[in-house]
Chain A
Amino acid sequence: MKQEWDLKNAFPSMPEDCHDALMRAARSVKEEEPMKRFSVKTVLIAALVLIAGTAAALAASDLLGWSDFFSAFGYRIEIPRTARDILTATEEKTYRVGPLTLTVNQLMTDGRIAVCSATAETADKSPAVISSEIYDAIGANGANGQAAAERMGVDSTASWIDAAHQLKLPFYRVTVYMDVEEKYHHGDDMGDTLWDEKNRCVSYSLVSLNEKNVQDQLPVKLTMLVTQYDAESIEPPAADWASETFAEVKEIGRWRESCDITLPVPAPLQQKTYAPDAPFSFANGMTLNGVRADLTVAGAYVVGLFTLEEGKDFYEAYDGEMDFLDQDGQPIPWGMAESGIIEYDRLPQVEWGAMLNLESLPDALTVVLRSGGTVQQVSVHAQAR
């Protein structure tokens, strides 16, 4: 299936000497068990000198939220006003997790997703390097990472643990996630991180929900993990596929805090169904019969209702990209969930769409499908109820 870009064209050919070196190394291995390479580890854990912090606590409004998350990546999402109001009205709560505090400042659900943001800093406001990652380059997080590196005075290609090592500061890894009961859960979760102007680490978590089982309240367990690693004795990352953690990282402390929260679920705001003038057959073998849109406080969940042509392979047909245009022909940005919607349990019926960033449902929209090197589109109009 032809894709929008062939990124192989963005790379030089593999130089011959590079290929030769790789194959020489591969052929040099011996069938017998290789000799274990021991690495020399620093046995002593250097006492971590905590430099007294001078940073005053910031006002609550200075904490980054979800709007900052989307603007930090230049991603054209403006959170709907209804969601912004709920997010900014979240009552901040600060939890002590070992040597850190985590302030949960934005938390909401619309019955289909639940989102949370939490800011981590040292409890005594002393300097430290805090990240969700250990070996990622600080600059890997784009402009936000570059700015964090500049504030710390380290090269943006340094990893987080390197920065702690260079600055002789303690290093903490923070993980924040929301758990919901199995019946509420729909797929896996999303997480990401930003750093604010005080280099506090802001964790963003999103859980996708099975809206069919969510009523007017959603019980959520919020879990916050803090792990301290020894930046002085740390070894290069190990490629340990079997383990979830890097085996050679020296962990020197681990703390965990969980709390149960019940989130109110706002009622859906609006629902519309749309239809094309006649069922429209796309080149990928799917025929669009209609579109269903559900507006919630967080955005609109818009799905095309398709029938898969007989004999077509679903996965081949699905290997495309769908977008929606507004009545002016402009693309409607995806919503906070940042992911598509696909249901194919009842083949040949397929529901394919996305969460869109809308505050109200339009009277008409256009469905665009890029697939197999072709771009096709069809307009659909709201039906009288």
Chain B
Amino acid sequence: MDKDFFVGEIDRHSGMLFRVAYTILRSGDDCRDALQETALKAWEKRHTLRDEKLFAAWITRILINACYDIRRKRKRTLSLEELSMEPAFQPPDRTLALAVQSLPEKLRLPLVLQYSEGMNYKEIAQALRLPESTVRGRIHRAKQELRKELEES
């Protein structure tokens, strides 16, 4: 992988990377740190990407690890109430945003990767290191939960 390809891919996937980081960290500042760390770590680990077509799933996995690492150091993330007050948090659909954020993370993350980022089950399974069936089950469950949340909101 050469640097031009790397920088281009990072730019192309930047929106996706931000949303994935936000899904886990719920804080703009933490997202910035996680994204920077991801770019540096990904370059360092570039030899582990065996097929450039898998770039999105590969860097998502690196980002998820970076997010967990930051969360581990921060010890806490914003609550839903705090989240809705954060000035930077101005999603186009606030009801949908709060409903998504209310899902357990293990359901939220695969749902976001599919519905926001258009990843297929196989890519999500690679990014999350889960069996494809588990991903299917979690997404199915997440959709049911999200519908329920939206009906109640």
Interface residues of A (CB under 8 A from B): 3-12, 14-15, 17-19, 21-29, 31, 34, 37, 73-76, 135-137, 139-143, 145, 155, 157-159, 162, 187-192, 206, 208, 236-242, 244, 321, 334, 338-340
Contact = CB atoms under 8 A, between A and B. Distances in A.
A338 B10 contact: no
A242 B72 contact: no
10 contacts: A7-B116, A10-B97, A11-B22, A18-B31, A23-B7, A26-B43, A27-B7, A236-B65, A237-B68, A239-B45
A206 to B, nearest CB: 8
A191 B106 CA distance: 13
B153 interface: no
B72 A74 contact: no
Contacts of B140: 334, 338-340
B18 A137 contact: no
Contact of A140 (B92, B100, B105): B105
Interface in B17-43: 17-19, 22, 28, 31-32, 35-43
B11 A26 contact: yes
Nearest to B66: A239
A126 to B, nearest CB: 25
A7 B96 contact: yes
Contacts of A162: 72
B67 to A, nearest CB: 10
A190 to B, nearest CB: 4
Contacts of A73: 104, 141, 145
A239 B136 contact: no
A159 to B, nearest CB: 6
Interface string B73-113: 01111000000000011111100110111011111000110
A242 B107 contact: no
- State the majority secondary structure of interface residues on B: helix
Contacts of A25: 35-37, 39-40
Kindly list the 5 A-B residue pairs having the minimum CB-CB distance in the complex, ordered from nearest.
Answer: A142-B104, A239-B62, A7-B116, A140-B105, A25-B39
Interface of B: 2-3, 6-7, 10-11, 14-15, 17-19, 22, 28, 31-32, 35-45, 48-50, 58, 61-62, 65-66, 68-69, 71-72, 74-77, 88-93, 96-97, 99-101, 103-107, 111-112, 115-116, 129, 131-134, 136-137, 140-141, 143-146, 148
A37 B44 contact: yes
Nearest to B75: A155
Contacts of B42: 239
Contact of A12 (B89, B100, B107, B129): B89
A242 B38 CA distance: 16
B41 A239 contact: yes
A340 B140 CA distance: 9
B66 A339 contact: no
Contacts of B100: 7, 10
Given A14-B14, A18-B32, A145-B104, A34 B43 contact: yes
A203 to B, nearest CB: 12
Contacts of A76: 144
Given A9-B96, A241-B58, 14 more contacts: A4-B115, A7-B19, A7-B116, A8-B116, A11-B18, A24-B36, A29-B6, A73-B141, A73-B145, A190-B131, A190-B137, A239-B38, A239-B42, A239-B45
A10 B101 CA distance: 9
A15 B21 CA distance: 13
A190 B133 contact: yes
A157 B71 contact: yes
Contact of A14 (B10, B18, B75, B90): B18
B98 to A, nearest CB: 8
Nearest to B54: A241
A214 B55 CA distance: 40
A41 to B, nearest CB: 16
Contacts of A192: 134, 137
Nearest to A159: B72
A71 to B, nearest CB: 13
A11 B88 contact: no
B104 A140 contact: yes
Nearest to A338: B137
B146 to A, nearest CB: 7
A238 B101 CA distance: 26
A140 B106 contact: yes
B97 A11 contact: yes
A157 B69 CA distance: 11
Contacts of A145: 104
Contact of A22 (B35, B89, B105): B35
B139 to A, nearest CB: 10
Contacts of B136: 338-340
B22, B72, B111, B143 interface centre (most CB from chain A within 10 Å): B72
B39 A22 contact: yes
A136 B133 contact: no
